[in-house]
Structure 1
Amino acid sequence: MGNYWARFRKIDNHTFRFDTRIYLKEVSNPSDDDLCIGAIVGKNPGSAKPSSNSDNGLQEIALDKDNLLPNVRKIMLKAYRHCNKRIENRSYIQVLNLMYLCDKDLKQAIRRINAFPDQLICECENKEFPFIWYVWGNDDKSLNPFKGRFSKIYATKHFYFDNSAKNVIEKAPSFSDSARHTQGLNHDFVVPYISNLIIMD
């Protein structure tokens, strides 16, 4: 039983993490039929690892001090409590990334991913989402080339928390916008907005 699941693949001796899911309630056997209630876009998978060495199917994630996934889950649970709505069984947040190579050193991850002839992306980017929350940080010349493809992903709502304006902006961020990461984010800044999205769904 666990809340955090993904598909891991070894490619040229590098570990990639695809189809990452944050389940609001624990599950033991995640399925493609489970309910995706929204998505979040981060930079890269960081230090989280597979719980086993298998390449087969969804595996539980060994977080290894990677706090993004549990932090997002906490925010979502607060949003459900805020609007007093019941959490559906087997509901999850889809985690998308600018790049899917696992490496806690972001600069090293960028160097390694740029060595691949083709950009390796997650097929989940082809889904349609109720909402997409962007948390990829500030304007960054090394990351900006990875951001453009997200303008083509369909969602009913796109939003980010603007670190400069200190409020939620209801659109996908441009390269130069400051899309606040969840680390150190005061949850009260985003919980009411996400709660309203849950009510409207």
Structure 2
Amino acid sequence: MEKDKDTEMKDQEQQNKPDEKGGVLIEGHIKIFDPNNEEVFVDKRNAIHYENFSNSLAQAMANKNLGHIYQMAFGNGGSSVDTTGVITYLPPNITGQNADLYNQTFQKVVDDTSSANTDTSRNKLTVLHTAGKLYTDILVSCLLDYGEPSGQQAFDNSTSLDGDYVFDELGLKSWQGSASDLDLVTHVIFHPVQKSLNRQIQIDYTVRIQTLTNLSTT
């Protein structure tokens, strides 16, 4: 009798155990180019800050008015150049809730529902999904116009890679309640690209969220 009771309890536990085994894969890709002549400056994958991204994803799914992508941040602290011209790249900052760019020098609001976004037609978030597919893309579009940022050089012929607007790192940040309370969710380091008055620079940043099914729990 006792044995039958134990068997019944085990059967009940087995029934209560969820049989859905899945996961989420997050990938990012960045393309930086001149929209006028299609010259590509950067075309590479980025690193994901998984702790901050998972927290932001849960906040957004729980409708907490938090966690959505709000800002694209630019910096110039991702690399260094020695006297021989050799460039050394630092690793992306993807550990710790307070992770940030090495040296942020500019930022733009890409949340096209925000009143702080000065051009929602060119700085925006687009959700791309094909029916039947297990992934959805967020396309983050950002344009640095001719006059942005203020204080940039006239031409893209700088011999120094230390300028504020010679960018070598970029990250996406999620909203955590205010424009000064943001979490870094992605970070990418790349060879320096100068923003100057004589050209526009377009950034297409794709974040792919893919569900993984039939994963083993062992």
Q: Same fold (TM over 0.5)?
A: no
Scaled by the length of structure 2, the TM-score of the pair is 0.24
Query: Which structure's residues are more often helix, by fraction?
Result: 1
| Structure with greater Cα Rg | 2
Query: Which structure's residues are more often strand, by fraction?
Result: 2
The structure whose RCO (Cα within 8 Å, separation 6+) is larger is: 2
